[in-house]
Structure 1
């Protein structure tokens, strides 16, 4: 497809990667990124753990596995080229008992099938050598799992877009997308985008026409999609995750990433220990229903967002099937002590006075009508309007590869890799 003008909705890492990819493939096209906040990477990109996943958990041959493995290489190359922090600190997935060891062996098999470099099972002695503060009966060691400054990557992508003739419009919120709304000066089948300036005094709505629109709107993805005629599901249900920070003296005892073995009974991973690119060490996150898609404070709610959740029968089905997980996460949400106890299963020496509250992130969790969580990427739409409806972890890791995939699909081209 020939693209004269393209709009990308969302200034997170995926939206910016898509815009860059469009400019790479169509250098003479006009590309505009619409971002409603006053800077890029405000939401999920700038509030995640900073982990560059190596591809341990994903079904071999699946889209997640393929995009993750390609995305790691592309991200590493981009970060190094643009002076963005990127460090292969390594990761251990720690088994506490024989039941978890059996699950760990299955993860090892997947990681090998996915081509994760250097992956291997290790015993407690070698675990102690790699992470002296950790404890477990065995672990899976991934030496190339990395940490990165994803907000810095997003800012670098925005710079590349501008230097290649694209435009990143900050504080500009898209309020409507209508396909087939051609103007007298646009081609048949063009897409009308309505937007407004945000600020102290919100500006009037303006309308422009584009040949191609790709939405990468995170927690607002389902609303934009529905507003342009796409299906109601999957629906976004927001879950917040709190992080706590280790005191510097204790943080110095952590060399990389210390993760639990995923429990198939629970929909979320659970509290883990994460070194950041800036040297800080975080505990978390937990996962609890957020009272707003973009509410990061501990108090207050967004009525519309809460109503969207409670009126969905699928959410209540999900809740009824995950009562043990809800109990566990409620306890970590209500009590710092319980939160720290979760982390102490893998790093026994942590004390309450060595932990302070950190930031909160919100995960855009896509949910089907039957209450099941969507675990893979969901990309819908038409030839001219493409919606990224779900981009779960490892979306930040895979962002540049996801962009290749989306843009190739949108333009009807062969994908790279």
Structure 2
């Protein structure tokens, strides 16, 4: 907790430390010896944020093409793209490919120093009668040695309350379902030395995450450490997410932003959490870099 407080101080984020009694008064259904309250913390509906950004792009004369697979990329005096929806050309390419970032780096003729490994984050939703069991986002103190935050509680804008996510290796880069398997993605992962070295670094957390994914009481146990009133029957289905985790060949996870540049492109190689929160500052940084590269 002291490390987190120091980070907040450096970034000029207001915090307040709550002792056990204050925590109980603040969130009666949460247990712990202490807590850090961040008054500026909040939540957004990022689906609505994305839709609003799309509206603004279209209003400014831009186009949006979804479900569009890039099959070939060529850099000449500009950029030429072949896709499943036709060919496109432009002066410069900004690539934010997420789960396919390393593949896009190869397409611009560079060798990525990392591989994207997909980690599925499984969530649950609490029933309506339990949706006010907490009134603030509740996070356990994270293990600083691990790249994931741990299972947390999030009151959503629509009034619902989600539990999660965990972090378990997916068998497909688009593995939003446990049963979604991509032979190509799986073969790439199993042939990558960084995967095995990552597992060897964190053998017990790896096994624990796998167990909790397959065994719901194990998942619940992690939540009950700080919110004991949640029961097994409270864990209702909710869509999963997939995190694009960049991993080096030595098993080291990239925990900072990584941008790969060429003469006519800038690729976002890694955008770790909280990339959504930081979306606008990241966009400004990208625009500044693109302006330098073009001019």
Task: Place the TM-score, normalised by the shorter chain, in its bin.
Answer: over 0.9
Q: Deviations over 1:174-232 (max 9, x none)?
A: 2221112xxxxxxxx211111122xxxxxxxx333211001001101111111221223
Q: CA deviation at 1:341?
A: 0.9
Whole-Å separation in 2 of the counterparts to 1:131 and 1:141 = 11
What residue number does 2:273 align with?
393
Q: CA deviation at 1:132?
A: 1.1
- SS of 1:146's equivalent in the other structure is coil
What residue number does 1:191 align with?
79
Q: Of the candidates 214, 219, 233, which is equivalent to residue 334 of structure 1?
A: 214
Q: Deviations over 1:259-300 (max 9, x none)?
A: 011113433222111111111111111101001011222214
Matches within 5 A, 1:307-346: 307-346=187-226
Gaps in structure 1 of 5+ consecutive residues: 1-103, 181-188, 198-205
Residues 263 and 269, structure 1, Cα contact 8 Å, conserved in 2: yes
Whole-Å separation in 2 of the counterparts to 1:329 and 1:319 = 12
Q: Deviations over 1:31-75 (max 9, x none)?
A: xxxxxxxxxxxxxxxxxxxxxxxxxxxxxxxxxxxxxxxxxxxxx
What residue number does 1:115 align with?
12
Q: CA deviation at 1:397?
A: 0.5
Whole-Å separation in 2 of the counterparts to 1:162 and 1:212 = 19
Q: Of the candidates 363, 366, 377, which is equivalent to residue 246 of structure 2?
A: 366
Gaps in structure 2 of 5+ consecutive residues: none
Whole-Å separation in 1 of the counterparts to 2:180 and 2:168 = 15
Matches within 5 A, 1:160-175: 160-175=56-71
What residue number does 1:131 align with?
27
TM-score by length of 1: 0.68
Matches within 5 A, 1:195-344: 195-197=83-85, 206-344=86-224
Residues 383 and 410, structure 1, Cα contact 8 Å, conserved in 2: no
- SS of 1:389's equivalent in the other structure is strand
Structure with higher RCO (Cα < 8 A, 6+ apart): 1
Paired residues, number: 293
Residues 171 and 186, structure 2, Cα contact 8 Å, conserved in 1: yes
Residues 378 and 391, structure 1, Cα contact 8 Å, conserved in 2: yes
Q: CA deviation at 1:392?
A: 0.9
TM-score by length of 2: 0.96
Give the RMSD, CA atoms, in angstroms: 1.3
- SS of 1:169's equivalent in the other structure is coil
What residue number does 1:71 align with?
none
